Each structure stands twice: as structure tokens, then as C-alpha cells.
Amino acid sequence: MSWQCLALDLRDDPALIAEYERWHRRENIWPEIVASIRTSGIEEMQIFRTGTRLVMLMRVGADFDPQAKALADAASERVQAWETLMSTFQRPLPWAGAGQKWVPMQKIFDLAECAD
């Protein structure tokens, strides 16, 4: 198992940010989205926000394949509808590639790697 960290921005509009957060409450997130996350090998996922910046932490199993997840998501009408809805709130990072939403972050420090 390993952790992955990704970042994305939201549009700078308090009403849109509140709506984005509302969609991510347990009672509002679509069951198909939760299922697509779990079946892909993502074991844990959390999203944090400060201002307009989002940070997603994912704990993934050894069998997690981001390309396979992307292909499965592209083939799912419901996931695509969710992504279209979420795009109304999201703003790609300035350095994101074309069509890229969540950008992987580079780990630069790990306390576990520091000797006593």
C-alpha cells in the first residue's frame, strides 16, 4: 500500500465552493462514484481544502492502476456525468497538462525516513 497526494483548485466563488462541498457530503455523493473509487484499488480517500486549493490523499493497494481507473471512468456514463458536474466548480492548476484535473504532488519530506 502507498499514499498518493494530488492537488486541484476550485473556482474562486464562495457559493460554488459551498456547492462543491455539499456534493461531497456522504448523503449527496452518488453511490456509483463511491463504487468506482473502491473497485479501482483505492482503499482510502480524503479531500482537504484551504481557500480554493484542494488536496486529495489516496491510500492505494498494490493492484491500483491509474490508467485502468481512467479507462473505467471514461467508459462509465455516470462517472462522466459526475465529472462534468464537478468541472463547473473546478479550475485546473496553472501547470496542469491539457485536460488534466487532479495533479500528482511530489513528496519532499517523510518523517519516517529520518533517523533518530
- pLDDT attached to residue 25: 98
- pLDDT attached to residue 71: 96
The whole-angstrom separation of Cα 66 and Cα 69 is 5
Average pLDDT per block of 10 residues along the chain, 116 residues long: 96 98 98 96 97 98 93 97 98 94 95 88
Nearest to 79 by CA among 88, 91, 70: 70
- pLDDT attached to residue 115: 84
- pLDDT attached to residue 17: 98
Residue 59's contacts (CB-CB under 8 Å, 6 or more residues apart) are 1, 2, 3, 4, 42, 43, 44, 45
90-96 long-range Cβ contacts below 8 angstroms, 24+ apart? 90/8, 90/9, 90/10, 90/11, 90/20, 91/8, 91/9, 91/10, 91/11, 91/12, 91/52, 92/8, 92/9, 93/7, 93/8, 93/9
Residue 24's contacts (CB-CB under 8 Å, 6 or more residues apart) are 47
- pLDDT attached to residue 26: 96
* Domain architecture of the chain: domains with CATH: 2-105 (3.30.70.1090)
